Structures are given as structure tokens and as C-alpha cells.
Amino acid sequence: DVKVTQSSRYLVKRTGEKVFLECVQDMDHENMFWYRQDPGLGLRLIYFSYDVKMKEKGDIPEGYSVSREKKERFSLILESASTNQTSMYLCCVGSYEQYFGPGTRLTVT
């Protein structure tokens, strides 16, 4: 069974904090993605990676960075969390068949 795990299901952080969201996959796949999901806006791509050490900006990269030191692990970093980054964050793995993690619901107060 495919497994994509995310480090936390729920997270509450304060404005200005540095936040790390981690995604781990057991699919041995090169492609990993980070999305955020907001009501009425659907899923929006933040960053993606097609290989270790490689990263590409998605549609809304501002305020975020990523790290991929190992093939199975892709981290999303909020350098200085702001209230408008309160959202559901979803990690995704695959190419034309994609599998999502359970999501992290982040609240920034």
C-alpha cells in the first residue's frame, strides 16, 4: 500500500515563527509536491521537486521555501509565519498517478 505521511495533522503557531512541515513517502518516487487548500480556491501548488536537491516554484511560492535532502523526504518551510498562511497543507507524490498525504491543518495566530 502506498504511504505518504505528514509530520503533523494539526499545528498552531504564532505569527513570525519559523514552521517546518515534513512529508515522507515510501513510493521511491522522484516527484513530490506541496499544495495548500483553501475553501473556494481549491488546491494551489506551492513548490515541487523532481529529484533530490532539486526544487521548483509553483504558483504561490511567496513566503515559503522547501528542502529535499533525501529522496523520500520533502519539507516545506514557512520562514516567518503569517495569519494568511493559515490553511490546509497537502503533500503529494507521483506523476500522472498521484497520492496525497493526510494533510496538516495549520493555524497561525
Partner 1 sequence: QKEVEQDPGPLSVPEGAIVSLNCTYSNSAFQYFMWYRQYSRKGPELLMYTYSSGNKEDGRFTAQVDKSSKYISLFIRDSQPSDSATYLCAMTTDSWGKFQFGAGTQVVVTP
Residues at the site binding partner 1, with contacts judged by CB under 8 A = 4, 31, 33, 40-43, 45, 48, 50, 58, 90, 92, 94-103, 105
Total Cβ atoms within 10 A of residue 87: 20
Given the C-alpha cell 494551489, which residue does it identify?
A: 44
Residue 106 Cβ, how far from partner 1 at the closest point, in Å? 13
Residue 84 CB, shortest distance to partner 1, in Å, is 19
By beta-carbon proximity to partner 1, the closer residue of 14 and 97 is 97
Strand, helix or coil for residue 57: strand
